Structure 1
Amino acid sequence: MDQNGTSRGKVCVTGASGFLASWLVKRLLLSGYFVIGTVRDPGDAKKVEHLWRLEGAKERLKLMKADLMEEGSFDEAIMGCQGVFHTASPVAGTAQDPMGEIVEPAVQGTLNVLRSCKKNPSLRRVVLTSSSSTVRIREDIDPRVPLDESSWSSAELCERFQVWYGLSKILAEKAAWDFCKENNIDLVTVLPAFLIGPSLPPILCSTASDVLGLFKGETKKFEFHGRMGYVHIDDVAGCHILVYEHEAAYGRYLCSSTVIDNNELASFLASRYPSYPIPKGFKELERPYYEFNTAKIESLGFKFKPLEDMFDDCVASLIQQGHL
Structure 2
Amino acid sequence: MKRHQVVVLLIEPIVGFDASIPPLIFGTALGPDGDELYDVTLCGLSTDPVATTTGYAIVPMAGPEALETADTVIVPGTKSARTRTDGSLPDDVAAALSRIRPGTRMVSICTGAFVLAAAGLLDDRPATTHWRYAAEFRTLFPKVRLDEEVLFVDDGDVLSSAGLAAGIDLCLHIIRRDHGAAVANDAAKYCVVPPWREGGQAQFIQRPVPQAANDSTARAREWALENLHDAINVEQLSRISNMSVRTFNRRFTEQTGRSPGAWVLEQRIERARHLLESGDLPIDEVARQAGLGTGASLRQHIRRSVGMSPLRYRKTFQGV
If the TM-score is normalised by the length of the shorter chain, which range does it land in?
Answer: 0.3 to 0.5
Q: Give the structure-1-normalised TM-score.
A: 0.37
Task: Name whichever structure is richer in helix by fraction.
Answer: 2
Higher gyration radius (CA):
2
